[in-house]
Amino acid sequence: MEIELTVNGRRVVAEVEPQALLLDVLRDQLGLRGTKRSCDVQVCGACTVLVDGGPVSACTYLAADAHGREVLTIEGFAEMPEFERYADAFERHAALQCGFCTPGFLLTIKSLADAGQLRTEEELRHGLDGNICRCTGYRGILEAAREIAGVTR
């Protein structure tokens, strides 16, 4: 089937199988490999992308469901001026190690911050609970996210 969507601000027309996952279409058909595959069951958050501004796990989201929608991946986010503030906070707080989970965290934070859902420490911890990081122990990520969202402890 043919789908038409916006990916990182550009219109894309793609021929996909009805059962194709958004993750595979992004990675294999569009070559956007900053979106990572890990758990395959919507637990780890490594494949998080934004669809119409909201975070989804691309590993369990049908490409067909993205028809007519706007998708933002890390490659697109990295081109936005506001990205520098995010990247700077992550760097200064050493909020990344192997980097495999990092795009997912950044997009989740962006989505929730844009929606005004990261106002308190509780909202931060709740909002980021769907992204796993196995390296850092989360403290650096929390510190960076607090700074980005303007949350004071």
Footprint of other proteins on this chain (CB under 8 A)?
27, 33-41, 43-44, 46, 73-75, 78, 86-87, 90-92, 94, 96-103, 106, 125-126, 128-132, 134-142
Separation CA 13–CA 37 (nearest Å): 23
Q: Which is nearer to other proteins, 4 or 23 (CB)?
A: 23
Beta carbon nearer to other proteins, 69 or 136: 136
Q: Which is nearer to other proteins, 4 or 125 (CB)?
A: 125
CB of 143 to other proteins, least distance (A): 11
Least CB distance from residue 106 to other proteins, whole Å?
7
Distance CA 102, CA 35 (A): 10
**C-beta neighbour count of 13 within 10 angstroms:** 8
Structure tokens given for 56: 């989804």
Residue with Cβ nearer other proteins (94 or 115): 94
Tokens of 60: 């369990």
Q: Taking the complex as a whole, how short is the minimal distance between the CB of residue 135 and other proteins, in angstroms?
A: 4
Q: Are 101 and 132 in contact (CB under 8 A)?
A: yes
Q: What's the chain's length in residues?
A: 153
Find the Cα–Cα–Cα–Cα dihedral 120, 152, 81, 76, rounded to 10°: -40
The distance of closest approach from Cβ of residue 133 to other proteins in the complex, given in angstroms and rounded to an integer, is 8
Smallest CA-to-CA distance from 85 within 113, 55, 47 is with 113
CB of 150: closest distance to other proteins in angstroms?
A: 18
